[in-house]
Amino acid sequence: MHLREPLRFTPLYQERVWGGRALDAVFGRPLPAGRPIGESWEIVDRPEAQSLVRGGPWQGWTLRRLLAEQAAAVMGPRWPARRPFPLLVKWLDCHERLSLQVHPPAAVATELHGEPKTENWYIAHTAQDAELIVGLRRGVTRPEFERALADGTVEACVHHFPVAAGDSILVRSGEVHAIDAGNLILEIQQNSDTTYRVHDWGRVGLDGRPRQLHIAESLRSIRWDDYEAELVRGSPTSGVIADCAEFRIRRVLLGAGERLHVAAGEQPRLLSVVRGQLSLQAEGGGEKRPFAVDPGDNLLLPYGGTFTFAADATTILLLTENFV
């Protein structure tokens, strides 16, 4: 079989003390009953978590098996079959504020036996007056930060700013950060799960005990010259919203009936619908395949496939590329 279909995966839902039920309320997803769901891992290739293909001829295959047996078709001719998929895509339902945390830069990650993690947040929905925290407040030094940790005033040392639906921000490894309550965020990140908590606002975990902090690792990882990160505000036009060594993300706006064409043999891409709906169109004048892409869906578009999508209504999607 030729791998020329978009790949859609079964979400892996993660219970988190700060999570909620927004994925049901916003996207109509059936969630595990009675649990605060903070994360939905949409596309993942890790030893502890594997995406399973949902629908089509590859139904039930893990992403790892696809790359092992179909690496060239999925990722292109130069992709080693044993190399993991380089990105992790997840929805974050931040019903409550997340911890103040940091991911280690590459050099520090090696020293601490962790993984670097640069990530992009796209704010799909947000409560009134919700904020993000990214970077230090301008002029804050490491000694000041450490004193503030000790006396419980560290919130005054970090950069707060309001956000609205459609905004996005690139958070690089080494930037101290937190997500405020009331944000539903699409996170596209390096394939990493290393997070060091530096402060948790006095919260306890699902077991009723204070969650583990990683003070020494955090202080080693924070970029002390990183002040007041800049937000990319939402816009009524298409354009690049993130561009770094790990990936590039383009926001694409389509009116009803407008089309997006993706050619085979260029590179694999991720397609994420954050508002509206798409329909996959048949290639070569053939009969239309019954494949709708709904709000909240995240697809992997293999290297070997040609795809044309039509917007059923005004649609906002993200195209992630340049990760190979």
| Residues recognised as catalytic | 197
Alpha-carbon gap, residue 297 to 27, rounded angstroms: 9
Q: Is residue 237 exposed (0-12), middle (13-18) or buried (19+ Cβ within 10 Å)?
A: exposed
Bridge partners, 248 (sequence order): 243, 321
Euclidean distance between the first and final Cα of the chain, in Å? 23
Give the Å distances, CA to CA, from 219 to 56, 128, 162, 173, 323: 47, 32, 26, 13, 29
Give start and end residues of each alpha helix (H) in the chain.
22-27, 63-75, 106-112, 142-151, 215-221
- CA torsion 254-255-256-258 (nearest 10°) is -60
Give the 3-state secondary structure percentages of the chain, helix then strand then coil, rounded to 5: 15, 40, 45
Q: Which two tokens stand for residue 141?
A: 């030094």
**Shortest CA distance to 134 belongs to which of 166, 102, 92, 97?**
102
Q: Which two tokens stand for residue 153?
A: 């005033």
Q: Which two tokens stand for residue 67?
A: 């790359």
